[in-house]
Structure 1
C-alpha cells in the first residue's frame, strides 16, 4: 500500500516544521501532533499510512504512544518509525519492541528517511 498520509509527532515546533517540509516537498500529506496523547488520538481520527514518532516528550513518551498505537485494533496496521535523538542501541531495540517498524536518529538525513518510508510503502 503506498504511503500518502504521514503523522509527524514531535514536541518541538522546529522538528515538526523541518520534517513536514521534507515530506510535503516529496508529495506526502502531513498531519502533526505535539504529544504522545495527541498522537494516539490523531492516529485514530486521521488513520495515517505512517507515523514518525519522537521519543522524548512530556506526558506520554514516544515509546508508550507507539505501544498504544501498535496494540490498538483500529491503528495496529499503521507502521511507526521512531524519529529521535536517542541513538543508543538499547533505545533502538526498545523502540522496535514497542512495535516500531524502523528507527531514525536525529538529526534526520532526508535521503535516509525517504528511503525508509519507500521501503515500507
Structure 2
C-alpha cells in the first residue's frame, strides 16, 4: 500500500506546522488534528494511509487513542507511527503494545521519519 495521505495528531501548533511542511515536501497530503476528538472528525471525513501520533495531549492521550483506533474495525488497518518527546524504552514498548507500528522521538529527524514511513508502505 502506497502512503499518500497522512493524519498528524499533535497538540503543538509548532509541531503540526513542522511535520506538515516535512511531509508535504515528500509529496504527501497532510491533515492535522490537535486532539482525539479532532482526529475522529478527520478520520470520518477522509481516511488517511498513515497516522503520526503524539502521546502527550489534553483529554485522551496518544496511547489511549492508538489503542482505541487499532481496536476499531473502521480504522484498524491504518498504521500508526508514534511521534513523541517521550523517549524512554518503556514508553516505546507501551506504544507498540497499544498497536503502534513504529515509534519515533522528537525532535524528528527527517531521514528517520522517511525511513519509518517507507518501511510501512
Distance in 2 between residues matched to 1:3 and 1:79, nearest whole Å: 10
Count of aligned residue pairs for this structure pair: 121
Gaps of 5+ in 1: none
Distance in 1 between residues matched to 2:24 and 2:8, nearest whole Å: 11
Using the size of structure 1 for normalisation, the TM-score is 0.97
Residue equivalent to 2:94: 94
Q: How much has 1:44 moved relative to structure 2?
A: 3.3
Counterparts of residues 42-53 of structure 1 (less than 5 Å) = 42-53=42-53
Q: How much has 1:39 moved relative to structure 2?
A: 1.6
Residues 13-46 of structure 1: per-residue CA shift (max 9 Å, x gap): 0000000000001100000000022223322332
Residue equivalent to 1:57: 57
Q: CA RMSD in A?
A: 0.8
Using the size of structure 2 for normalisation, the TM-score is 0.97
Distance in 1 between residues matched to 2:56 and 2:37, nearest whole Å: 13
Matched, 1:106 2:113: no
Matched, 1:33 2:33: yes
